[in-house]
Structure 1
Amino acid sequence: MDRKLKLIWDFKGEEGLETAKHHCVHLKEFAIAENLPYHEINSVSIHEFHSIAFVTVDESVMKAYRDALKPHRGELA
């Protein structure tokens, strides 16, 4: 069984959450266009000036996402 990994993009500033939400739209478009599976795509406000967009994927498809989309960081989900 593959481990689940969370690939994360950070967005800072007053408009960070709106930018993160918009980034999620593009993450979903990419997954559909490339026919890549995912568990979750979402955005979260960490605090007023820091938000993230993330995609949770199986380790087996992580490289396809990572190489094409260049996330800022990743972690075990």
Structure 2
Amino acid sequence: MRQLKLIWDFRGPDALKTAEHHEIHLKDYIKTEQLQTDITGFQSISNIHAIAFMVVPENIMKPIRDTLKPHRGQLYQE
């Protein structure tokens, strides 16, 4: 099963803090919905761009995408 990385972009001087906080909400969502995934994270792209992400199996991506509205997605490769 392919894994997809759902990505939320944050920009501005507080982008990294915002992405870090967004990951908390992603973990809460995973717990609340009892999803069988545990790959989340945040990453600094530059000093004014950061991302938060969650990796999900392709077969459950659509309802998660429709609920959480990520900005973009890509294939996940470890």
TM-score, structure 2 as length reference: 0.93
Deviations 1:25-77 (A, max 9, x none): 00000011011122410000000000000001110111121011000000001
Where has structure 1 moved over 6 Å in runs of 4 or more? none
- SS of residue matched to 1:44: strand
Instruction: List alignment gaps of at least 5 residues for structure 2.
Output: none
> Identity rate of aligned residues, in percent?
50
Q: CA RMSD in A?
A: 0.8
Secondary structure of 2:34's partner? coil
Residue 62 of structure 1 corresponds to 61
Q: Tell me the SS of whatever aligns to 1:61.
A: helix
User: How many positions carry a matched residue from both structures?
Assistant: 76
CA contact (8 A) 1:36 1:61 kept: no
User: TM-score if structure 1 supplies the norm length?
Assistant: 0.94
Q: List gaps (5 residues or longer) in structure 1.
A: none
